[in-house]
Amino acid sequence: MLLIVDIGNSNTVLAVYDGEICLHTWRCVSDRKRTDDEYAVLLQQFLATAELRFADLTAAAVSSTVPALVEKWQRLCRKYLKVEPLVAGVDIRTDMKIGVEFPQQLGPDRLVNAVAGRAKYGCPVIVLDLGTATTFDCVSAEGDFLGGVIAPGVAVAAESLGTSTARLPKVEFVRPKKALGTNTVQALQSGIVYGFAGLVDGVVRRLKQEMGGEVKVIATGGLAAGIAEAAETIDVVDPLLTLDGLRILYDLNKDENKDMNKDKEEK
């Protein structure tokens, strides 16, 4: 079985795949202070809920926007799973031309999303990830990664509004029945949900004009479903998109990764 580790700025999503099937997923806080041994205990506890053990995991793939945590998960995989994990990045095989000016600056999560969007939904495609940041990643009709847009995340913006103002409370992420709020909570919820839905629609329409043709828009991330209800340009919400992208990248690189593991065993 394949362990998938998707490390975001706020949360880490863990998944176990058997072939192309995602069997289980878990979510934890991306805690930079936690050691690799502490993460191992947490992983062991998650696996136990599915009646799985470390020995059941024969491979691993990691994507991270937090470099400090990559090394911890690499050490964990080597020590407890006895495997060398695949780490997503522009230096591994993607079968995709990267058409940005500075490829090494491209976040692994964006690359993973682009690979998954192309493989699962065809081209051209825009992948919208509503996480700590809001990212739009564009794949051309030829299957090349063109670039995209990075905007503030929904939760980050809402948190900033609550902490930077003296009289505005923190509110639950709920879509109000109408845009015109008649109290402060409704007004804040309207601004968050409809404001970001408007941001999404505005950016997507501009990107479609520049890309040309019929472009599919796929949304993923923890808040994707809520924004998709209010937005007009999202075609599909796929909560497993990033995880599937990591699985696809592992499959593309598994032969080379097996060689790395074999060399490590021989040494």
Q: 3-class DSSP state for residue 13?
A: strand
Return the higher-pLDDT residue of 51 and 183.
Answer: 51
Give catalytic status of residue 36 as yes or no.
no
Look at residues 210, 232, 63 and name the one whose alpha carbon lies nearest to residue 131: 63
- Domains in the chain (CATH in brackets) are 2-87 (3.30.420.40), 114-239 (3.30.420.40)
Q: What is the pLDDT of residue 207?
A: 97
Q: What is the pLDDT of residues 152-164, one digit of tens each?
A: 888 777 776 666 6
Catalytic-labelled residue, pool 36, 91, 95, 109: 109
Q: What is the pLDDT of residue 260?
A: 52
Contact at 8 Å (CB) between 13 and 243?
A: yes
The proportion of the chain whose per-residue pLDDT surpasses 70, expressed as a percent, equals 91
Instruction: At 189, give phi and psi (nearest 5°).
Output: -60, -40
pLDDT at residue 176 in the model: 81
Q: Is 263 exposed, middle or buried (0-12, 13-18, 19+ CB in 10 A)?
A: exposed
Predicted TM-score (pTM) of the model is 0.88
Closest CA to 223 of 150, 179, 158: 158
**Per-chain mean pLDDT for the chain:** 90
